[in-house]
């Protein structure tokens, strides 16, 4: 886990990681979210809607932005403030997603960074884009 402080971060700093989308993760997200929409839980329904199988929740995909911020950029000292997300393509169980983030602005006085992020599937297709703002907690307890 990274532990960046505001003085360690410059525009252009990048991180990426990959995540496998499994049926177990989909089922866990269903349980946690309580969203039982059949598009996400019933393969026959999803197929009638034109998909090859159930569609992974967009918010499950977007939760990977939380991982980007909380583990990698800035990591342990993160104070996630907002995420603006766009979904551009469905995700399915079996997909391998790559999450990439790049710092595009640093506000030293506010101890806040802006990150441009994208999630791609194993075919290189963009499934989501985001703009993220994260504060950086530099209090003694986080040092």
- Chunk the chain into consecutive blocks of 10 residues (it has 143) and report each block's average pLDDT, rounded to whole numbers: 95 98 97 96 96 97 97 96 97 98 97 98 98 91 48
pLDDT for res 138? 87
pLDDT for res 131? 98
Residue 12's domain comprises 6-137
Distances, alpha carbon 140 to alpha carbons 6, 8, 33, 73, 77, in Å: 14, 17, 34, 19, 11
Total structural domains within the chain:
1
pLDDT for res 140? 64
Please report whether residue 142 resides in a domain.
no
pTM: 0.93
Please report whether residue 128 resides in a domain.
yes
Please report whether residue 143 resides in a domain.
no
Measure the CA–CA gap between 91 and 83, rounded to whole angstroms: 19
Please report whether residue 42 resides in a domain.
yes
Measure the CA–CA gap between 24 and 60, rounded to whole angstroms: 12
Task: For residue 29, give the CATH number of its domain.
Answer: 3.10.129.10
Please report whether residue 1 resides in a domain.
no
């Amino acid at each position: 886990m990274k532990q960046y402080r505001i003085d360690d971060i410059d525009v252009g700093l990048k991180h990426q990681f990959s995540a496998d989308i499994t049926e177990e993760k989909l089922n866990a997200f269903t349980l946690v979210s309580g969203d039982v929409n059949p598009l996400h839980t019933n393969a026959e329904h999803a197929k009638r809607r034109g998909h090859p199988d159930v569609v992974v929740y967009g918010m499950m995909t977007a939760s990977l932005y939380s991982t980007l911020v909380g583990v990698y950029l800035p990591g342990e000292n993160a104070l996630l403030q907002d995420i603006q997300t766009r979904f551009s393509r469905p995700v399915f169980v079996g997909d391998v997603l790559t999450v990439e983030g790049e710092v595009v602005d640093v506000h030293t006085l506010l101890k806040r960074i802006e990150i441009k992020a994208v999630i791609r599937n194993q075919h290189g297709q963009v499934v989501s884009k985001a703009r993220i703002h994260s504060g950086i907690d530099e209090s003694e307890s986080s040092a």
